[in-house]
Amino acid sequence: MTNKQGEVVRELLRALPGLTVVDDEAAVAEKSHDTWMRSLLERRMGVEEHAGAVVRPKNKAEVSEVLVWAEASETAVVPFGLGSGVCGAVLAGRDQIVIDMGSMDRIVEVNENSLTVTVEAGMRGSTFEAELERRGYTMGHFPQSIELSTVGGWCATRASGQHSTLYGNIEDMLLGCEVVLAGGRIVRLPAVPRSATGPDLRHLFLGSEGTLGIFTELTFRIHPKPEARKGCAYSFTDLGQGVEVIREALRVGWTPSVTRLYDAREAGRNFAGVASEGESVLLLLSEGPAAKVEAEQSALQGLAKARAGKSHGGAPVESWLEHRNDVPSFESLLDQGLVVDTIEIAAAWENLVPL
Ligand SMILES: Cc1cc2nc3c(=O)[nH]c(=O)nc-3n(C[C@H](O)[C@H](O)[C@H](O)COP(=O)(O)OP(=O)(O)OC[C@H]3O[C@@H](n4cnc5c(N)ncnc54)[C@H](O)[C@@H]3O)c2cc1C
């Protein structure tokens, strides 16, 4: 530990004796990077900088105490979920501290009447969704990193999941939240279905990456687990035809929960035995009441057929569902001398195909 790190830890322990403060080198190193390629490379090269200390608050009061201390001591703090972010946002220097949210990981309440769940911000996404499913519900939020990320991280990064065409993105699911502001003030935005009093303050915090406050508790919309689920894969010789099928389906009001179009190169990598070389592949999955699922799949089939889509049945969709979160670790790619990165884009329909 450097002198600067030691100083930070001693000060924290003196000011907040009840707080869990971690200063073990390996544990601090673990919380000093995310999945950003550059920080993984720096880690490998042994030039990564580590935070001064990691604190693990057990509740909002402790988060608040840390932020009171941080303001008084002019120490920068960085909230940390599970470090699956890919932009280096959690990196902290030696004179800064990391607030690891991992000890705040409980479901506070499931309200089966209003169909809401209130959860602490540090709960792992996959544990959270599994617990909802055990009780007969789903939130419908399935980012590929569901096993690697927290519910607080989802809100801080304005995350999007694989079933978003039906259930929406995280900003459509968040009804209310509790946030601790710099300086320690605890603010609660109540979980109401709608409000007409001025700008929606939830949007100040959603996507703010911890810079405007630390989420401690979140209330989300939930749904009963779908009664039925059915999918179908189609291939197209022209990617544009696949885009048209999606555009036409959505504009008349169909909402296939999973709507994924792979260009020929990606289709070749992911669906080699399904599509012929040079074809793109479209996956469409419907969920909900059985009658709606049947009607939607039949309408989608009609749209795909009209655009010369070849049907490959439900097996490719089932196989995708089973393997959708299998990603090679970035570390194993680095071992092979490969550097990968990921980028998200959004565009209006008219710009999609040229893009
Ligand atoms: C393999 C892989 C697949 C991915 N797939 C998706 C995907 O499908 N969809 C998607 O949207 N993203 C995806 N991501 C990106 C990443 O998983 C998300 O950004 C995720 O929401 C981050 O959550 P986390 O808990 O790991 O946050 P971290 O990485 O720990 O932190 C991310 C940011 O949020 C802040 N933060 C964390 N917790 C809090 C809190 N309680 N209050 C305030 N700020 C906080 C941090 O300071 C940081 O700025 C993927 C990443 C990987 C590595």
- pLDDT grade for 156, boundaries at 50, 70 and 90: very high
Q: What lines the ligand 1 site, CB under 6 Å?
A: 34-35, 78-86, 89-90, 101, 121, 143-145, 148-150, 152-154, 156-157, 159-160, 209-210, 214-215, 327
Distance CA 24, CA 29 (A): 9
Q: Whose CA is nearest to atom 36 of ligand 1?
A: 153
Distance CA 207, CA 190 (A): 19
Ligand 1 centroid to residue 197 C-alpha, Å: 30
Task: Quote the Cα angle for 245-248-251, to 5°.
Answer: 145
Q: Is the model's pLDDT at 355 over the cut of 90?
A: no
Ligand 1 centroid to residue 227 C-alpha, Å: 30
pLDDT at 2: 63
Q: Is the model's pLDDT at 1 over the cut of 80?
A: no
Per-chain mean pLDDT for the chain: 94
Q: Is the model's pLDDT at 136 over the cut of 70?
A: yes
Ligand 1 centroid to residue 116 C-alpha, Å: 22
Distance CA 117, CA 129 (A): 11
Q: Which atom of ligand 1 is nearest to the CA of 79?
A: 47
Distance CA 160, CA 153 (A): 11
Best residue among 120, 144, 178, 205 to mutate for probing ligand 1's pocket (most ligand atoms within 8 Å of CB) is 144
* 201-238 burial code (b ≥16 CB/10 A, e <16): ebeebbebbbeebbbbbbbbbbbeebeebbbbbbbbee
4-9: average pLDDT: 74
Ligand 1 centroid to residue 232 C-alpha, Å: 30
Q: Is the model's pLDDT at 232 over the cut of 90?
A: yes
pLDDT at 101: 98
CB 339 within 8 A of CB 280: no
- pLDDT grade for 173, boundaries at 50, 70 and 90: very high
- pTM recorded for the entire structure: 0.96
pLDDT at 330: 84
